[in-house]
Amino acid sequence: GAGVSQSPSNKVTEKGKDVELRCDPISGHTALYWYRQSLGQGLEFLIYFQGNSAPDKSGLPSDRFSAERTGGSVSTLTIQRTQQEDSAVYLCASSLSYGQFSGNTIYFGEGSWLTVV
Amino acid sequence: QQPVQSPQAVILREGEDAVINCSSSKALYSVHWYRQKHGEAPVFLMILLKGGEQKGHEKISASFNEKKQQSSLYLTASQLSYSGTYFCGTEAGGTSYGKLTFGQGTILTVHP
């Protein structure tokens, strides 16, 4: 696609429910990133994928968070048993390739705004 | 570890200049600069690579001091459209390559 596409754009869910956030990266981009941004805060790294594998999952806040990527394309971030502190914008980004000295531009999607009530 | 940005906020009049700094405690391979307007996705401004290569917009300039692990973004003759939050993202080496860690952001406000 022309840009990174995320869905849903907005999600209101009840505490304790599970949610799935989807990211469709730019066609041909092998690297995919998930970040979280709470209101007025910076960009918190969650996880990134090189192809279908995730070499660094250290940013996932708890075991309620998981992510997968299939076919080297679409990625899904799943939050189980949502809590109010999970409310944030979840940003997905992709880049052409990965690796040292890659210097590839990372393109962000518009984000999925999650509100847990 | 998260890079540290300074200042946290800047207020300018149109036409004035500003410098935003980003520093890291880790050896860096690249520094990325983004601008985010309220309610929008971050937008790419510039990449600075170890070794001196830069990629970015013609009207944006930045520096990368590899020895000090510091980068600075220079905004000259500011325009109203420059307002937003500026983030630096750093890519460290070793097992962290490919992982971009962002600073807390610098809020820039340009007034007429």
Cα–Cα distance measured from residue B104 to residue B106, given in angstroms and rounded to the nearest whole number: 7
Whether the bond between A8 and the residue before it is cis, its omega within 30 degrees of 0, is: yes
Task: Tell me which chain B residue has its CA closest to the CA of residue A4.
Answer: B41
3-state secondary structure of B29: strand
pLDDT at B14 over 80: yes
Distance of CA A26 to the CA centre of its chain: 14
Mean pLDDT score of chain A, rounded to an integer? 90
Among B55, B93, B99, the residue with its CB nearest the CB of A45 is: B99
**CB contact, 8 Å: A25 with chain B?**
no
Q: What is the pLDDT of residues B19-34, one digit of tens each?
A: 999 999 988 888 999 9
Task: Give, for B85, the enclosing helix (H) or strand (E).
Answer: strand B84-92
Distance of CA A95 to the CA centre of its chain: 13
**CB contact, 8 Å: B103 with chain A?**
yes
Question: Which pLDDT does position B37 carry in this prediction?
Answer: 93
Which positions ≥6 away from A31 have C-beta within 8 Å? A48, A49, A50, A94, A95, A96, A97, A98, A102, A104, A106, B98
Biggest alpha carbon distance in chain B?
46
Distance from CA of B40 to the nearest CA of A (A): 6
Q: Which residue has the higher pLDDT, B9 or A48?
A: B9
Cα–Cα distance measured from residue A115 to residue A97, given in angstroms and rounded to the nearest whole number: 32
Q: What is the pLDDT of residues B39-53, one digit of tens each?
A: 888 998 988 887 777
Nearest in space to A6 (alpha carbons), one of A84, A57, A54, A75: A75
Mutate to test the interface with A, among B46, B48, B53, B101 (most CBs of A within 10 A): B101
Would you state the structure tokens that stand for residue A22, as one six-digit string?
Answer: 């989807």
pLDDT at B59 over 80: no
pLDDT at A99 over 60: no
Q: What is the pLDDT of residues B65-101, one digit of tens each?
A: 988 999 999 999 999 999 999 999 998 866 666 678 8
Among B34, B44, B50, the residue with its CB nearest the CB of A101 is: B50
**CB contact, 8 Å: A1 with chain B?**
no
Cα–Cα distance measured from residue A94 to residue A49, given in angstroms and rounded to the nearest whole number: 9
